[in-house]
Chain A
Amino acid sequence: MSTISTAASSELASEHARYGQGYVAAPVFGNPDAAKARQLFVIAAGAPSDVERCQPIFDALGQQTFRVGSAPATANLIKLAGNAMSAATLEILGEVLALARKRGLDPQEFLAILTGTMFGSRVHRIYGDKIAGQQYAVGGFVFPLALKDIRLALNEAESAGVPMPSVSVVRDRLITGIARGYSELDWSALGLLAAEEAGLTFEPADAHS
């Protein structure tokens, strides 16, 4: 269920096969709140009989399972692509919310318009709220873990001959965050970096106004 590279997943699959064991890759989408509420999305790949055997576990921890074939690495590729997309989304959320703040707009009202019109995804709503409120909680999906996933995603992209320039920018942003001492902050603090770049100061909203 870990977020690992396709190469590591394939190696695990072949090692387990060598010992007569099954291996199912089943990374999940969803944050710790979703995990607690059994609202995770499971992306599962492996031999059909092995996935079937694991299905009761997936049902106990998530709301939906997507079966994506018999090659475990496929599930890991999808997870890494999703995390790259989340990271790039956090970056652009940080940038537009910095613009809103700089021009004196209420970040929450601004965000409500975006999420209520064209940008209603979970990532926009959940992380947009954290960035608008400048609630970059300690101990969430911390920068070093996010950087690890983005590094793996960019490795996959390079292997496939696919440039991902916007994801590369986010990789550098994460390195910046770690260099500035934000290693303990959730990756929504990409919004903090965007605000700092705009000359804005850190002014967290009262824990939910």
Chain B
Amino acid sequence: MKKASILMIIGSALLLGLFVFPLWNIRLGAPQYPEPLGIDIHINGLQGENEFDIQNIDGLNHYIGMKTLPKPADMWEFSVFPKVVLSMAVIGILIGILGFIGKISSIWFLIWFIVMGILGTLGIYDFNLWLVEYGTDLDPNAILKLVNPDGTPMKYNPPLIGHKKLLNFDAFSYPRLGGVLLGIGMLFSLIGYFLGRKSTANLN
């Protein structure tokens, strides 16, 4: 159970990495952008991979009538997400400590994992909604109004994960270090749960 609890503590602490490292990244490359433009998605806002990338992406997006990329104040997520992540990390560490001193069983690790999973799914759902909204809610007076072969307006939302071709751009969307740490942290809590259950079973 001690090992399991340590895993739980480390796992939840890994969430704090999200305050330093980006959760996700969207990168746009094109022939005339040998150095691709990139957006790092942090839990508290967007940041260009290079200093002027956001400005330059906005500059390109104005042709197709996209809104400019949101500032932290423009989206509630950027103020709520840090609170949620911090709370979950603190709760997780507490659960781990309580497990370590034998006050609670490892079932709490599983509960934390499930809550985190639900929050994460909601987060991804929200992220996808934003991508779709951002990529489809276009200015009717846009300079370039492109339609699909079936006549419907072209959508410009980058993929949730993976690669997608957007006009002349190749868009890539993948987790970054913060997101990876989140995944590892959750995995640790799950392993902690199984280890804890095994050691309890052994004791019995």
A and B from one complex: no
